[in-house]
Amino acid sequence: MTETLYLTRNGLLEPLGQSQVMAYLRGLSRDYTITLISYEKDEDWADTARVARARGECAELGINWLPQRFRYWPPLIAPALSMLRMAWLVRREVRRRGVRLIHARSYIPAAVALVVGRMTGVPFIFDMRALWPEELITAGRLRRGSLLHRAIVAAERACVRRAAAVVSLTHAAVEYLNRLYPEEMAGRPVVVIPTCADLDRYVPPLRKPGSRVVGCLGTVLSGWFRIDWLASFLAVAARRDPSVLFEITTRDDPRQVRALMGADPAVQSRLSVAPSPADRVQEELQGQFVSVMFFTDGLGKLGSSPTRMGEILGCGIPVVANDGVGDVAGIIREHRVGVLADGPAPHQMEAAWEELEALLTDPDLSARCRRTAERIFSLSAGTRAYGRIYAGLINGDGPCAD
């Protein structure tokens, strides 16, 4: 089988690595011999049982897994050293294994693939995942116009221009890139593949939950999650329904999350903040009747396709979200699978709650959420789309996602 290289800064052992890396590789490994380079965080690497399971699955699938340690410190220097190490590994594996295609997940891997590709002639896929420079600015981690910002934008432009194919999570991001880089994008093979969910795992519960639980899945301390909106919505929900419970399923620090949720005893007394093993997240969702996700909007989120959305809808439950985040609002409006809050003010959250209660009376809601997940977020469809890109580039026909 053809040798390919998959390069990601996410860890295979973390939930995102399982849902958005390994999930695709299980299917792709049937047709390609894959070398996977990932970057694992210390807390994940310490779980020796999970490491052993991951190694075993990779071996069973014929995936050559080369895990690296993710380094946080020192800032700027650690990512630079990581890039040098990554470039050395990629060049070594390209020569050692005769790699025909590099799949670079996000910007740093793409920059490495660009450099190694120029040296070796191996084409690469720029799998953008999101508009990283704008996300960093939105999160307050990068200043527009700074030297680092200009360097990242230059790398983005070069990767768009040199990639054999560009994969975007959203149609909104493609429209933005067409405006920002008209020359580089002209005639460029671009495929939209949203973050997909394993809909064999994320399924509606066999029976309705015994209690009413409002859920929130994933990090809320990222810098681009609107935790003030979440606190406002939960306060309204607690006031409107004395029986409702709240679950924030996250690996964030529970004490910090609780502190940011305010002192309202009606919320705090009914709030659970805890992580969940990656293989049990669906059980958490199946016990909820709605899941909430509020993100900062603007350019930083045009390229975002929240992983949690496909998983939530796959479990047959609606979402409460906000406008300006990738294709989220368009999906909610077109398919009627949730509610959009206009703002964090109590009266705006009251309006969102009332709209949600009306939506929940629709007997087709759960089935419609599931159908929408199958249509847009299906893992099997996403894997087939990547497979067509691989085949088109390796065979010289160009990528095709249709």
Tell me the C-alpha distance between 96 and 110, whole Å. Answer: 20
Q: How far is CA 97 from CA 26, 51, 63, 84, in A?
A: 20, 24, 13, 20
Domain 2-195+379-395 classification at class level: alpha beta
**Choice among 25-34, 74-83, 353-362 with the minimum mean pLDDT:** 74-83
Q: Where are the domains of the chain?
A: 2-195+379-395, 213-376
Query: pTM of this prediction?
Result: 0.84
376-390 per-position pLDDT tens digit: 999 999 999 999 999
Q: At what angle do helices 227-240 and 346-359 cross, to 10 degrees?
A: 60
268-317 per-position pLDDT tens digit: 999 999 999 878 999 999 999 999 999 988 888 899 999 899 999 999 99
Identical fold, 2-195+379-395 and 213-376: yes
Q: In the structure, what pLDDT confidence band is assigned to residue 400 with cuts at 50, 70 and 90? A: low
Name the burial class of residue 396, with classes exposed (0-12), middle (13-18) and buried (19+) by CB atoms within 10 angstroms of its CB. exposed
User: Token pair 């990738």 is at which residue?
Assistant: 326
Q: Report the percent of the chain where pLDDT is more than 90.
A: 83
The mean pLDDT value of the chain amounts to 94
Q: In the structure, what pLDDT confidence band is assigned to residue 402 with cuts at 50, 70 and 90? A: very low
User: What is the pLDDT averaged over residues 61-84?
Assistant: 89
The whole-number pLDDT of residue 301 equals 87
213-222 per-position pLDDT tens digit: 999 999 999 8
Domain 213-376 classification at class level: alpha beta
Hey, which residues does 339 pair with through a beta bridge? Answer: 320
Asked if pLDDT for residue 139 goes beyond 80, the answer is no
User: Token pair 């990547």 is at which residue?
Assistant: 386
322-370 per-position pLDDT tens digit: 999 999 999 999 999 999 999 999 999 999 999 999 999 999 999 999 9
